[in-house]
């Protein structure tokens, strides 16, 4: 097996491509083809979407608080596996430096959905009294039906595991696995072992990614869920506020795609995450210091662009920097779990009793969380940069040539392997 150290972006040279045509490589491909996965993404992800749509429809028929709590629990259960599942599917088709742009397309779609959601909420809300149901119930019912339709369609378009993909020829599958093996562990065979769980739980970088999302998730959920309330607090009517959520969400979508595309081109993450946080802070400062509704509405645009863009960047970061596979899975799970604790706090601060001075206190708390996220980003970037330099120095100054790691050693050592380089 070729063990040539990949370049910073993991691209393959002509010689690298030739090296992957050895008998040992072809043996690896055949072994990978025999891997069994408990759940197929082509079934798992559309099924989650169907379940989510069904639960959304059920929300439209809730009649009491107990029913609402039960339905919301099921909604969270359906949503919990979707995003990590999509991220993992990306990892079996794309190399490390290629994943952030794909995550951005996916997450940008979520922001764009918020824009369409505002239009639909305004339009469907006018169905008040239709068939004896309230307008808000029709919002859940009809949007849930739309989700069900897309969930059924997804069974035919969501890809399966790369080694089983029918749209790839045998040579294309071999080439795909060779590309992945050049700079990641996605093509290696790894059985679950508790030592990888321990590695994740004791790695300060894994905790750093989790706390980074914690800081951003607070503002993401508070802003996305309460944007109509924030805009209404500027003096607009509720139906106007629903429509006025469309431009900020649209701006956020384009900000995600443009910024992450540039980030992937220069292969840097930390600088753009910090920049996104500063843009969001600027938006909140505008909301706090200006007096006219028009100027404050501009602040909403800056806040939305910065918050959504920062989240799109940071959510792909552990997928690029954590190895082996089990450790990465735990890292992603920890990031979502600890991050969503911030979301729980975020959805509690934009309450009527804190709405004085156009939500001054919640805006200040949001700025504090963004500053926390900046500090965590600086810590992660500083440590990873020093570690990359240390490994370079070890290889350059070692009196005895350090042999290339075998695939088994790379799998065992993961991101601690001497030739592994973090994406900063």
**Terminal-residue alpha carbon distance, the chain:** 28
- pLDDT value of residue 78: 82
What's the domain count of the chain? 1
Specify if 108 maps to a domain: no
CA distances (Å), origin 232, targets 88, 163, 227, 238, 239: 39, 51, 8, 6, 9
Specify if 169 maps to a domain: no
Specify if 395 maps to a domain: yes
Q: Range of 221's domain?
A: 194-424
Specify if 287 maps to a domain: yes
User: What is the 8-class DSSP label of residue 22?
Assistant: S
Going 39 to 40 to 41 to 46, the CA torsion angle's sign is negative
Going 368 to 371 to 377 to 379, the CA torsion angle's sign is negative
- 3-state class (DSSP) for residue 153: helix
- pLDDT value of residue 282: 97
Max CA separation in the chain (angstroms): 82
Q: Which residues contact 105 (CB under 8 A, 6 or more apart)?
A: 257
Specify if 269 maps to a domain: yes
- pLDDT value of residue 73: 87
Query: Which CATH number covers residue 384?
Result: 1.20.1250.20
Specify if 412 maps to a domain: yes
- pLDDT value of residue 94: 80
- Both tokens of residue 415? 């991101």
- pLDDT value of residue 182: 64
The region that residue 26 occupies, defined by phi over 0 for left and psi between -120 and 50 for alpha, beta otherwise, is: alpha
- 3-state class (DSSP) for residue 256: helix
Residue pLDDT tens, the chain, 424 long: 333 333 333 333 333 333 334 444 444 333 333 333 456 788 888 999 999 999 999 998 988 888 888 988 888 888 777 877 787 778 777 877 777 888 888 888 777 777 777 777 777 777 777 777 887 788 888 889 999 999 999 998 888 766 566 667 777 777 777 777 666 665 555 566 788 788 889 999 999 999 999 999 999 988 887 887 788 777 777 767 778 888 898 899 999 989 988 998 888 999 999 999 999 999 999 999 988 888 889 999 999 999 999 999 998 898 888 877 788 888 888 888 898 888 888 878 877 777 777 788 989 999 999 999 999 999 999 999 999 999 999 888 877 777 776 666 677 777 888 888 899 9
- pLDDT value of residue 21: 41
Specify if 16 maps to a domain: no
Contact call for residues 89 and 224 (beta carbons, < 8 A): no
Specify if 82 maps to a domain: no
């Amino acid at each position: 097996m070729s063990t040539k150290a990949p370049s910073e972006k993991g691209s393959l040279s002509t010689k690298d491509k030739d090296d992957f045509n050895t008998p040992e490589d072809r043996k690896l491909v055949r072994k990978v083809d025999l891997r069994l996965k408990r759940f197929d993404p082509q079934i798992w992800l559309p099924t989650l979407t169907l379940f989510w749509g069904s639960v959304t429809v059920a929300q439209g028929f809730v009649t009491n608080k107990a029913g609402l709590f039960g339905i919301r629990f099921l909604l969270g259960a359906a949503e919990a596996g979707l995003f990590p599942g999509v991220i993992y599917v990306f990892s079996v088709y794309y190399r490390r430096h290629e994943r952030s742009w794909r995550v951005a397309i996916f997450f940008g779609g979520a922001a764009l959905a918020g824009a369409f959601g505002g239009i639909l909420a305004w339009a469907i809300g006018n169905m008040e009294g239709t068939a004896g149901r309230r307008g808000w119930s029709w919002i859940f019912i009809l949007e849930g039906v739309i989700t069900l339709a897309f969930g059924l369609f997804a069974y035919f378009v969501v890809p399966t595991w790369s080694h089983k993909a029918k749209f790839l020829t045998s040579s294309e599958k071999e080439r795909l696995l060779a590309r992945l093996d050049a700079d990641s562990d996605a093509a290696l065979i790894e059985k679950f072992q508790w030592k990888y769980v321990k590695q994740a739980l004791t790695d300060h970088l894994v905790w750093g990614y989790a706390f980074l999302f914690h800081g951003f998730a607070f503002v993401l959920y508070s802003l996305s869920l309460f944007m109509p309330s924030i805009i209404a607090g500027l003096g607009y009517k509720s139906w106007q506020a629903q429509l006025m959520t469309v431009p900020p969400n649209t701006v956020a979508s384009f900000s995600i795609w443009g910024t992450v595309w540039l980030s992937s081109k220069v292969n840097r993450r930390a600088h753009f995450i910090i920049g996104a946080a500063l843009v969001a802070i600027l938006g909140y400062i505008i909301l706090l210091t200006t007096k006219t509704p028009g100027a404050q509405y501009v602040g909403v645009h800056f806040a939305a662009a910065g918050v959504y863009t920062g989240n799109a960047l940071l959510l792909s970061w552990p997928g690029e920097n954590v190895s082996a596979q089990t450790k990465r899975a735990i890292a992603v799970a920890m990031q979502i779990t600890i991050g969503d604790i911030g979301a729980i706090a975020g959805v509690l601060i934009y309450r009527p009793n804190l709405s004085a001075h156009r939500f001054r206190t919640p805006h200040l708390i949001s700025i504090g969380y963004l500053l926390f996220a900046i500090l965590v980003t600086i810590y992660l970037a500083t440590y990873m940069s020093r570690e990359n330099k240390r490994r370079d120095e070890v290889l350059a100054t070692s009196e005895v040539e350090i042999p290339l790691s075998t695939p088994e050693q790379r799998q065992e050592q993961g991101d601690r392997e001497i030739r592994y380089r973090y994406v900063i």
